[in-house]
Structure 1
Amino acid sequence: MSTEERNSGSGRFWLVIIIALVAFAGLFVLGWLPRHRKDTTRDEENQQQLTAKPVVTVQPTKPAPDTTSVTLPADLRSQHETELFARVNGFVQNWKADIGQRVRRGQVLATITTPELDQQIAQAQANLALARTSFGRLQSVSLPGAISKQELDAGKAQYIAQQAVVKQLQAQRSFRQVIAPFNG
């Protein structure tokens, strides 16, 4: 191989490298230029927005109404709650107050009829009348020593016991009214 051939081979090598570098630089510039223009345009637009005066829409003011109505979902519960029961057996005769209605302490809420209690009172009054009559007979025995003092005391005790039973049943009759324990 001669020096000319060697020089021409190495010249071609350098020529190919130079052409490749120029082509690479050309492609780089072709890719970089559009991006650079886009960045420059965006920077200019941002700068214009920063320096531009803001656009403000103005609307005349109106006075607000004095009161406004707001409807909100809610659940209303009482502070004090109690279950009421009748203290005697019977049937509801009438209601004086309904559920949710305001009541005052001591107000009658319901009245109850008490047929069983009325029968017991009638029976106790009959027993009282019998005890009174029996005790009266024992007291009226005119012969001293005809009855023992024990029989007389037993008759008196029976009479007093029947009076107590009648008073107790009449006191239960007052429980026929269901009364409100507090205001609400």
Structure 2
Amino acid sequence: MTEKNHASLAIPARDPNEGPALPPRHVEWKRAKIALVIVLALLALGAARTVVTDMMHNRSIATRTQQNAQQYVNVVLPTQTDGGGETTLPGTLRGFVESPIYARATGYLLHWYADIGTRVKQGQLLADLDTPEIDQELAQAVAQRDQTASSLGLAKSSLERWQQLRQRDAVSQQELDERQSTYNQDVANLAAADANVKRLRQLESFKRIVAPFAGVVTQRNVDVGDLIDAGSGTSRALFALAQSDPLRVFVQLPQAYAQNVSVGQEVTIMQAELPGQQFHGKITHVSGAIDVPTRSLQVEVRLPNPDGLLRPGAYVQVALPAAAHARLLVPGNALLFRAEGPRVAVVDADGHVHLNKIVIAQDLGQSLEIESGIEPTDKVIVNPSDSIADGDHVVIAPQDQQHPSNQKAAS
């Protein structure tokens, strides 16, 4: 029986022709549970990652939005001038004496003797005119004068005879008075004839065009054979003459600096075409009134020019004495143009913007000289946006992150 039991309990032999043996059912369920757990864990991790990523992204967006909402600005402190120095203004060189030369007599140009650039002396002949009409008028006037002189001689002798006859009561007083009147009339006629002859001779002398002063010929507008009309109304000038030593420099001084100049002050003149060279002149005249359209004061400077290096009509820079009191300087890119006038944006200790009204004393190009409106301790915004308004909150950028041009302007 034991053998039978063992035989019954024995595992039947596996047929080698059958397929692979299947695992038990409880093993398959165990494996399925493990796979399900892994899948759920992966899904949970993916969901958690998605949630965390969304939270981090939302937080980044919020941070970036907050940062973008802040307005960063660059600021500088105004620099203070020392109250001295010079104020450079544009000026114009003019000849000490300048004059267009017109003809006083009408005629044809026979010859000219001076061209542009010629230096002439006072009284030097510049041109000759042919004036046949004036010559004929002069000859006629001389003949009329001779006729009048002859009539005067006859009237004088007749008066003398009638005076003798009157002494013998041979003629009446009325007749004598008539002879006296005729003589006086002939005397007046002779004086008029003499004046006419003198006038025509003077007019004929204008056939010779001479230089009224020593200088250089700057223009020649006529040539041989041109018809020259007398006068300066509609006719053109024959020549233009200028005296180049000394020169006169005319400067329009703004009203804000009108109190800084006086006659006798030394000034410095510079010309861009002559780099490194300075010329020294002296203020000789100051206009006594402010020009209403430009609100400026005209100043005249006398400038020696013995070598003729400077030429009349040139554009120059004139360095005039500056203001006696100190002013504040700010970069030119800090200026705001508003309907109320020029403004600068100033940041207070709490980061709020204040648009201060300023009075510009002088525009120096890259910087502005401010008369009033800011203090030396004010933080002035450079390159402010056009949309900046009074009361806006801003953040001052660190000094090392400011634009180099702003730092240069501030220095």
TM-score range, shorter chain: 0.5 to 0.7
1:180 aligns with 2:203: no
1:154 aligns with 2:171: no
Q: Pairwise mapping of residues 25-36 of structure 1 onto structure 2 (< 5 A)?
A: none
Conserved 8 A contact 1:88-1:176: yes
Q: How many residues align?
A: 127
Conserved 8 A contact 2:120-2:211: yes
* Equivalent AA in structure 2 for residue 169 of structure 1: L
Task: Work out the CA distance in 2 between the residues paired with 1:83 and 1:162.
Answer: 33
- Which residue of 2 is the match for residue 116 of structure 1? 133
SS of the residue corresponding to residue 119 of structure 2 reads: coil
Unaligned runs of 5+ in 1: 19-77
Task: Work out the CA distance in 2 between the residues paired with 1:9 and 1:82.
Answer: 118
* 1:14/1:101 CA distance change after superposition, 3 Å: farther
- Which residue of 1 is the match for residue 11 of structure 2? none
Report the Cα offset of residue 123 of structure 1. Answer: 0.7
Partner residue of 2:35 out of 2, 12, 20: 12
* Equivalent AA in structure 2 for residue 150 of structure 1: S
* Equivalent AA in structure 2 for residue 5 of structure 1: E
Report the Cα offset of residue 113 of structure 1. Answer: 1.6
Conserved 8 A contact 1:139-1:152: yes
Task: Work out the CA distance in 2 between the residues paired with 1:85 and 1:134.
Answer: 40
Partner residue of 1:84 out of 89, 101, 120: 101
1:164 aligns with 2:195: yes
* 1:178/1:5 CA distance change after superposition, 3 Å: same
1:127 aligns with 2:144: yes
Unaligned runs of 5+ in 2: 1-24, 42-92, 164-174, 217-411
* Equivalent AA in structure 2 for residue 137 of structure 1: L
Task: Work out the CA distance in 2 between the residues paired with 1:148 and 1:180.
Answer: 51
Conserved 8 A contact 1:86-1:177: no
Report the Cα offset of residue 85 of structure 1. Answer: 1.0
* 1:110/1:15 CA distance change after superposition, 3 Å: same
Conserved 8 A contact 2:110-2:129: yes
Conserved 8 A contact 2:126-2:209: yes
SS of the residue corresponding to residue 148 of structure 1 reads: helix
> 1:88-125 deviations in whole A, cap 9, x for unaligned?
11111110101333333332211112111111110110
Which stretch has the larger CA shift, 138-147 or 173-182? 138-147
SS of the residue corresponding to residue 97 of structure 1 reads: coil
Report the Cα offset of residue 143 of structure 1. Answer: 3.8
More helix per residue: 1 or 2? 1
Conserved 8 A contact 2:148-2:193: yes
SS of the residue corresponding to residue 115 of structure 2 reads: coil
> 1:104-161 deviations in whole A, cap 9, x for unaligned?
3332211112111111110110000000100111112234446521111111111111
Report the Cα offset of residue 3 of structure 1. Answer: 4.7
> 1:65-96 deviations in whole A, cap 9, x for unaligned?
xxxxxxxxxxxxx8445432111111111101
SS of the residue corresponding to residue 100 of structure 2 reads: coil
SS of the residue corresponding to residue 99 of structure 1 reads: coil
Task: Work out the CA distance in 2 between the residues paired with 1:157 and 1:88.
Answer: 28
Task: Work out the CA distance in 2 between the residues paired with 1:10 and 1:177.
Answer: 132
Tell me the TM-score normalised to structure 1 length.
0.58
Which stretch has the larger CA shift, 150-159 or 102-111? 102-111
Task: Work out the CA distance in 1 between the residues paired with 2:121 and 2:179.
Answer: 59
Conserved 8 A contact 2:144-2:193: yes
Give 1 or 2 for the bigger CA radius of gyration.
1
Conserved 8 A contact 2:155-2:179: no
CA RMSD of aligned residues (A): 3.1
Task: Work out the CA distance in 2 between the residues paired with 1:180 and 1:119.
Answer: 27
